[in-house]
Structure 1
Amino acid sequence: MTRIALALFAALFLAACTADGSRAVEPIPGSITYGGQPRTKLTKAPIGSTFEHTFNDRYGRPVVETYRIQPDRSLLLIHRYTRIEYF
Structure 2
Amino acid sequence: MRKALAVIWAAALVGCTSAVALEPIPGSITYNGQPRSRLAKAPAGSPVSHQFQGQDGRQYHETYIIQPDRSLKLVDRYAVDIPID
Q: Which of the five TM-score ranges fits, normalised by the shorter chain?
A: 0.7 to 0.9
Which structure 2 segments of 5+ residues have no match? 1-10
TM-score by length of 2: 0.75
1:72 aligns with 2:63: no
Which structure 1 segments of 5+ residues have no match? 1-13
Counterpart CA distance in 2 for 1:45 and 1:59 is 32
For residues 19-78 of structure 1, the C-alpha deviation after alignment (integer angstroms, 9 at most, x for no partner) is 813210000000000010000000000110102100001122100010000000000000
How many residue pairs match? The answer is 72
1:29 maps to: 26
1:8 maps to: none
Counterpart CA distance in 1 for 2:33 and 2:83 is 34
Helix, strand or coil for the counterpart of 1:46?
Answer: coil
What amino acid does structure 2 have at the position aligned with 1:76?
K
1:59 aligns with 2:77: no
1:39 aligns with 2:36: yes
Identity rate of aligned residues, in percent?
A: 51
Name the Cα RMSD after superposition.
1.8
Runs of 4+, deviation exceeding 4 Å: none
Q: Summarize the Cα distance change of 1:63–1:19 in structure 2 as closer, same or farther, 3 Å threshold.
A: closer
Helix, strand or coil for the counterpart of 1:52?
Answer: strand
